[in-house]
Structure 1
Amino acid sequence: MTDSWATFGADLHVELRGSGLRSGLMDALREAARTGRLAPGTRLPSSRSLAVDLGIARNTVADAYAELVAEGWLTAQQGSGTRVAGRAVPRKPPAGVLPAGVVRARPARRRPTYSLHAGTPDLASFPRAEWLKAARRALTSAPHEAFGYGDSLGRIELRSVLADYLARARGVYADPGRIVICSGFVHGLMLMGKVLRRRRVREVAVESYGLDVHWNLLTEAGLRTPALPVDELGSQTGELDALRGVGAVLMTPAHQFPTGVPLHPDRRAAAVDWARGSGGLILEDDYDGEFRYDRQPVGALQGLDPERVVYMGTASKSLAPGLRLAWMVLPEELVGEVAEAKGSVDRASSALDQLTLAEFIASGAYDRHVRGMRLRYRRRRDQLVRALAERAPDIRVSGIAAGLHAVLELPPGTEGSVIQAAAWQGLAVEGVSRFRHKDAPPGKDALVVGYATPADSGWAGALDALCRALP
């Protein structure tokens, strides 16, 4: 006789209480339904299956089910099985009347109708059909060992494809053996923070405008983050020599976030010269390097010196942040240290997602998607610029030659009031001061407007709300 009992229906965790089996089972099921552990509509195992699991007679379970149906705790219908019954919803008191002892809470803040926050791509344009095709091909051809724990560097299929793509599209010197796959840029930065701390680095310079989540991660790793000034030519990399304790610098050279300017060639050279002379490292955040519109592509800084630059890229802007896929191209001497740090925290990212992305890139679907999104974002940007020229001609727009956001310069002292006016229009938008390092002096008032996020149906409304809020 085979162990066919092992395939009976669904599992149900029940702790029998009391001395009687039937009453103990009924009490346990009542309690599970009363507390919500078993939600209304949950289908219970058949009486035969549950009896086998609990090691009791089938009639005992059937009798318990029948009595709980009679009490209203369960329902039983032909062909639908036995399910947890829907419980009555307590009646609400009349409007304005609160039960004794209940204090009226403040009304919840109204959720914005529109958002022009920077940093998020158009999620509605994720290439679902092409991604699904790539996933099917990847799953069909995946070797059996891909379902094991895997290499902490990441799947060799993805690392090989990325090496070719990054060399071709971003000018990166990339060998598969020097690429580490991680679960997003933040994960990669956490690993680098850990490695730098082990190397006795005490300070990592950061741009005076950027994301506090990145600065905080470095601080949590035990690193200080002095601010490197930013102007219309990008980071003032000539100031690195004056920061004596700095062992590394975190930068966005292709498209500084949030000011939107590329790092000037002289300053790129100065950064590399500093790294060579001091033995420091440059952490290059190439967060949206694929998206440029009115300029020639700006290659990755890493190409100037692969042994002094850690190149960090991600699929979060080109595809979607929910994929949690990013990559680091490392100097050769760092590969073992980063792999060790990653292995002790997170052995490997999802193998199936890595294989799917590898297939997506190798098939040409990634290039097609990026080109399509480049056109889409350029149209959005052009519509934003036209709307501002017509309705707010005194507002200067910058940082629009590339990326997914624009910077709108405001009259001095008006940033806070414009953000509040936008909120009254149902629009969420951020000021540039939101991204200023705590040690950096105040700069110009401006809005950082992300034009990728709104759905097509909400884009016109978001633009209208923005223009009404501007002075």
Structure 2
Amino acid sequence: MTDSWAAFGADLHIEPVGAGLRSGLMNALRDAVRTGRLAPGTRLPSSRTLAADLGIARNTVADAYAELVAEGWLTARQGSGTRVARRATAAVTRGARSRPVRRRPTHNLMPGSPDVSSFPRAEWLKAARRALTSAPDAAFGYDDPRGRAELRGVLADYLARARGVYADPERIVICSGFVHGLSLMGKVLRRHRVRATAVESYGLDIHRDLLAEAGLRTPRLPVDGLGARTGELADAPGVGAVLLTPAHQFPTGVPLHPDRRAAAVDWARSSGGLILEDDYDGEFRYDRQPVGALQGLDPDRVVHMGTASKSLAPGLRLGWMVLPDALVEGVCDVRGGPEWMSGTPDQLTLAEFIGSGAYDRHVRAMRLRYRRRRDQLVEALAERAPDVRVSGIAAGLHAVLELPEGTEQSVVQAATWQGLALEPLSRFRHPDAPPGRDGLVIGYGTPSESGWAGALDALCRVLP
């Protein structure tokens, strides 16, 4: 058989850049590693294969490989071939400008996640055994599109008791988390000829994107120290719904002032509008009793949306919507057939977990743990970064650190080099909002218990 490029080893798309074949090849390989296109441990083609692919001399490729091995970009071992080095950062190259590779974060302070290492595995397993042992055979077939009656029943009791929600089980629909629920509501709103849903001027872009995908405009509703300025809804042209985080505004952390809660409900009643209430971490309040759900003020004008993602773990993919009577059928219709329902075993297990009291015990335990972390964060900042003000700490799993003007990006970059994952406050600003204060949104609930002290120390090292 004659030699052919098609019969050689692994493919590698690479284009030498710069003067000279060897230096151009080296620059291209460095760039591929630096940008992550060639991941650590990736096996490269043999020098013979790559030389044939590029139409250059084999010695040129071999020399380039050897130089990159010497610089630390690649490794070469007998029987293992040439591979991308497994290292956190790139070595400084000779004769070329280089940047360190963005290393995998050592510490994670990204907001939006609980400490998943604290998931109550033993109690969850007990609940699963009890639930599956007593479940009727019919539970594992196609069922009510609203979700299992067992879960809707215990949720109605729990939400009424703990969150002040009017929650008839017939008005609850189980979904696969908040994002799924919001996607369904976007479709329902469009069917009801809503053209725009107002969103808070600070929030998650994925929520705005979901509403936009449903064909809805997402004008911004300004947020200040009292929460969203809901009084401005009356002057917002064409707005038929509003998405709010009233218990603990994300990410600024302020609760919606009582007067603004009332203004939102008054707007919905007078205009026929709808309020979508994102109650993402309503159970975690530290300085007083949790703020009750907005839905309790008018169950016919508010869709209450909750999730187990913060209280237990996002991997469960379990959430719920408490709907006005008039919307239940429409939500079930747009979600599709039974194949789009959440898994029965997890629904039954969560029902047992809540009904047995294990959910309340877990929430109370995690509330104490997160409050301790919050207090440690405040104390560390007061001692090591006194110029940084912390806010939004009365509830939830994150805090906002207000930075000196003009320092946000430099702090984020310093954190990246230190292997610390965090988010700037500007990341959550509505694209139509004017520039705001510099800050960081610190998810102190995210690290494991063993990783918290190291994450806090790394944070203090990068603050001005």
> Does TM, normalized by the shorter one, top 0.5?
yes
Residue of structure 2 equivalent to 1:315 = 308
> Quick check: 164-173 or 405-414, which moved more?
405-414
CA-atom RMSD in angstroms: 2.4
* Alpha-carbon separation, structure 2, partners of 1:145 and 1:95: 66
Q: How much has 1:109 moved relative to structure 2?
A: 2.5
Residue of structure 1 equivalent to 2:148 = 155
Question: Is the Cα contact below 8 Å between 1:149 and 1:347 reproduced in 2?
Answer: no
Kindly provide the CA deviation profile for residues 58-108 of structure 1, in whole angstroms up to 9, marking residues without a partner as x. Answer: xxxxxxxxxxxxxxxxxxxxxxxxxxxxxxx99897573699xx9999975
Q: 1:193 aligns with which of 186, 192, 195?
A: 186
Question: Is the Cα contact below 8 Å between 1:151 and 1:347 reproduced in 2?
Answer: no
Q: How many residues align?
A: 384
Q: 2:379 aligns with which of 386, 397, 406?
A: 386
Question: Counterpart amino acid of 1:335?
Answer: V
Q: How much has 1:460 moved relative to structure 2?
A: 1.6
* Alpha-carbon separation, structure 2, partners of 1:95 and 1:142: 65
* Alpha-carbon separation, structure 1, partners of 2:46 and 2:451: 37
Residue of structure 2 equivalent to 1:179 = 172
Residue of structure 1 equivalent to 2:95 = none
Residue of structure 1 equivalent to 2:435 = 442
Q: Give secondary structure in 2 for the equivalent of 1:343.
A: coil
Question: Is the Cα contact below 8 Å between 1:253 and 1:301 reproduced in 2?
Answer: yes
Residue of structure 2 equivalent to 1:27 = none
TM-score by length of 1: 0.78
Question: Is the Cα contact below 8 Å between 1:396 and 1:408 reproduced in 2?
Answer: yes
Q: How much has 1:342 moved relative to structure 2?
A: 1.4
Question: Is the Cα contact below 8 Å between 2:145 and 2:337 reproduced in 1?
Answer: no
Question: Is the Cα contact below 8 Å between 1:181 and 1:325 reproduced in 2?
Answer: yes
Q: Give secondary structure in 2 for the equivalent of 1:282.
A: strand
Does the alignment pair 1:467 with 2:439?
no
Q: Give secondary structure in 2 for the equivalent of 1:283.
A: strand
* Alpha-carbon separation, structure 1, partners of 2:145 and 2:427: 36
Percent sequence identity over aligned pairs: 78
Q: 1:96 aligns with which of 51, 68, 72?
A: 68
Question: Is the Cα contact below 8 Å between 1:182 and 1:188 reproduced in 2?
Answer: yes
Question: Is the Cα contact below 8 Å between 1:188 and 1:327 reproduced in 2?
Answer: yes
Kindly provide the CA deviation profile for residues 237-286 of structure 1, in whole angstroms up to 9, marking residues without a partner as x. Answer: 00101112000000000000000000000000000000000000000000
Question: Is the Cα contact below 8 Å between 1:395 and 1:408 reproduced in 2?
Answer: yes
Residue of structure 1 equivalent to 2:321 = 328
* Alpha-carbon separation, structure 1, partners of 2:383 and 2:357: 40
Residue of structure 2 equivalent to 1:5 = none
Q: 2:112 aligns with which of 119, 126, 134?
A: 119
* Alpha-carbon separation, structure 1, partners of 2:270 and 2:337: 32
* Alpha-carbon separation, structure 1, partners of 2:384 and 2:257: 33
Residue of structure 2 equivalent to 1:232 = 225
Compared with structure 1, are the counterparts of its residues 212 and 346 closer, same or farther at alpha carbon in structure 2 (3 Å cutoff)?
Answer: farther
- Long gaps (5+) in structure 2: 1-8, 11-43, 48-64, 77-82, 91-97
Q: How much has 1:343 moved relative to structure 2?
A: 2.6
Compared with structure 1, are the counterparts of its residues 269 and 346 closer, same or farther at alpha carbon in structure 2 (3 Å cutoff)?
Answer: farther
Matches within 5 A, 1:42-441: 96=68, 108-344=101-337, 346-441=339-434
Q: Give secondary structure in 2 for the equivalent of 1:456.
A: coil
Kindly provide the CA deviation profile for residues 175-218 of structure 1, in whole angstroms up to 9, marking residues without a partner as x. Answer: 00000000111000010000001111100000000000000000
Residue of structure 1 equivalent to 2:31 = none
Question: Is the Cα contact below 8 Å between 2:142 and 2:338 reproduced in 1?
Answer: no
Question: Is the Cα contact below 8 Å between 1:419 and 1:429 reproduced in 2?
Answer: yes
* Alpha-carbon separation, structure 2, partners of 1:413 and 1:256: 24
Q: How much has 1:463 moved relative to structure 2?
A: 1.1
- Long gaps (5+) in structure 1: 1-33, 36-88
* Alpha-carbon separation, structure 2, partners of 1:457 and 1:340: 46
Query: Which consecutive aligned stretches of 4+ in structure 1 deviate over 6 angstroms post-superposition?
Result: 89-93, 102-107
Q: How much has 1:132 moved relative to structure 2?
A: 0.2
* Alpha-carbon separation, structure 1, partners of 2:439 and 2:342: 38
Residue of structure 2 equivalent to 1:18 = none
* Alpha-carbon separation, structure 1, partners of 2:398 and 2:340: 35
TM-score by length of 2: 0.79
* Alpha-carbon separation, structure 2, partners of 1:456 and 1:238: 42
Residue of structure 2 equivalent to 1:456 = 449
Q: How much has 1:465 moved relative to structure 2?
A: 1.2
* Alpha-carbon separation, structure 2, partners of 1:316 and 1:151: 23
